[in-house]
Amino acid sequence: MTSQPKVLIFDSGVGGLSVYKAIIARLPQLSIVYTFDNEAYPYGELEQKTLLSRVLGIVQRAVLKDDIDLVVIACNTASTIVLPALRAKLQIPVVGVVPAIKPASLLSHLAVGLIATPATVTRPYTQELIQHFSPHKPVELLGSTRLVDMAEEKLRGHGIDLHELEHILAPLHNKIDVAVLGCTHFPLIKEEIQTVLGNQVRLVDSGEAIARRVAQLLSLPMDEEDRGQREKHRIMSSTTPWEETALNMELNKLGFGIIQNCPYPMDA
Ligand code: DGL
C-alpha cells in the first residue's frame, strides 16, 4: 500500500458525499476517488438485476484502473444486494453502508423511523436487520425518492421546501423518537429533516461508523492532524450531471476536482 491509501467511494449520485465528509473529517490522509452512477439514478427505483451488474461493472473497473486499496459502497440501496457478489470479485476490503438500525433501536424508547429509498425499505436484507437488531422496538418504514431528489437539488444550490418535506415526513409525525437516515443522501438535508421532525426526534446515520471501519481496515490512526495542502480528490460520473457547473462549484469546496465523465461501460 502507498503512504496515501486510495479509497473508492461509490453511490448513484451525490449521497455518498455525506459518507465522504465523515471519512475525510477523521482520515484526512486518504486519497479519494468518488464514482457515481447518475445515468441509472435513482437506484431506489432500479431493477435489482440492472443495479447489480452496473455496480459490479463500474466498481471493478475503477478498482483496477485506479489501484484502489478499499471500496466504500456509500449507498444503502446498493449495499442491501451487491455486497456478497462484490466481495467475491475483489481482493480488497469492501465496506457497505447499511441502515443504522442497531444504534437507533438502542437509543429509542418509543419507536424507530427508517427513512430510506422505496427499494431499501422493502429489501429482505433490511427486514433481517430489523428482526435482528430491533426485535422489541417497532420500526416505522418510510420510502421516498423525492427526498433523494431534494438532496441532489440542495447540492446544486437549490433551497429545500420545508412544507413539501413536512408533507413527505408526515406519516412519522408523533410516532417515533429516533429516525434512521437510511439513505446516504439524507444527511445532506439533515438540518431540514431535524427542523421538520422536531428536536425530540434523534437522527442517526452511518457516517461515523463507516469512518471507524475504514480506519480499522486500513490500520490508520483517526483524527491525525491534517497536514494542509493536498491534491484534489477525483470524481467521476457515468453521464453528464444536470446543472454540472453548480455541482462542480460545490464539489470544489469539498476538495474535489472537476467531474470527469466515464460512460458505462467505461473505456478501459
Ligand atoms: N444514496 C442512495 C442510498 O443510500 C441511493 C439513492 C437513489 O439513487 O435512489 O440508498
Locate the domains of the chain by residue range: 6-97+208-261, 101-205
- Mark whether 75 is an active-site residue: yes
* Residue 40 CA, ligand 1 centroid: distance in Å: 11
> Per the annotation, where are the binding residues for substrate?
11-12, 43-44, 76-77, 184-185
Give catalytic status of residue 262 as yes or no.
no
Nearest-atom number in ligand 1 for the CA of 184 is 4
Mutate to test the pocket of ligand 1, among 58, 80, 117 (most ligand atoms within 8 A of CB): 117
Catalytically annotated residue among 17, 183, 210, 236: 183
pLDDT of 265: 76
pLDDT digits (tens, 9 = 90+) for 56-109: 999 999 999 999 999 999 999 999 999 999 999 999 999 999 999 999 999 999
Whether the domain at 6-97+208-261 and the domain at 101-205 fall into the same CATH topology? yes
Q: What is the pLDDT of residue 121?
A: 98
How far apart CA 99 and CA 75 sit, in angstroms, is 10
- Cβ neighbors of 34 (< 8 A, separation 6 or more) are 8, 9, 10, 16, 17, 20, 233, 234, 235, 236, 256
115/96 Cα distance (integer angstroms): 18
Q: Please tell me the distance between residue 75's alpha carbon and the centre of ligand 1 in angstroms.
A: 5
Spot the catalytic one: 46, 58, 75, 129: 75
Residues belonging to the binding site are 11-12, 43-44, 76-77, 184-185
Report the pLDDT value the prediction gives residue 266, as an integer from 0 to 100.
52
pLDDT of the residue at 226: 66
Per-residue pLDDT, 1: 47
3-state secondary structure of 100: coil
- Enumerate long-range contacts of 198-203, CB under 8 Å, 24 or more apart: 201/113, 201/176, 201/177, 202/107, 202/177, 202/178, 203/178, 203/179
Alpha carbon 28 to chain centroid distance?
Answer: 18
- Position of cell 431499501? 120
Buried b (16+ CB within 10 A) or exposed e, 227-257: eeeeeebbbbbbeebeeeeebbeebeebbbe
**What was the pLDDT predicted at 3?**
66
**Alpha-carbon Rg for the chain in angstroms:** 18
Residues 6+ apart with CB under 8 A from 131: none
Q: Which residues of the chain have pLDDT under 50?
A: 1-2, 267-268
Instruction: Say how far apart CA 120 and CA 81 lie, in whole Å.
Output: 10
At the topology level, CATH places domain 6-97+208-261 in Rossmann fold (3.40.50)
pLDDT at 28: 95
CATH class of the domain defined by 101-205: alpha beta
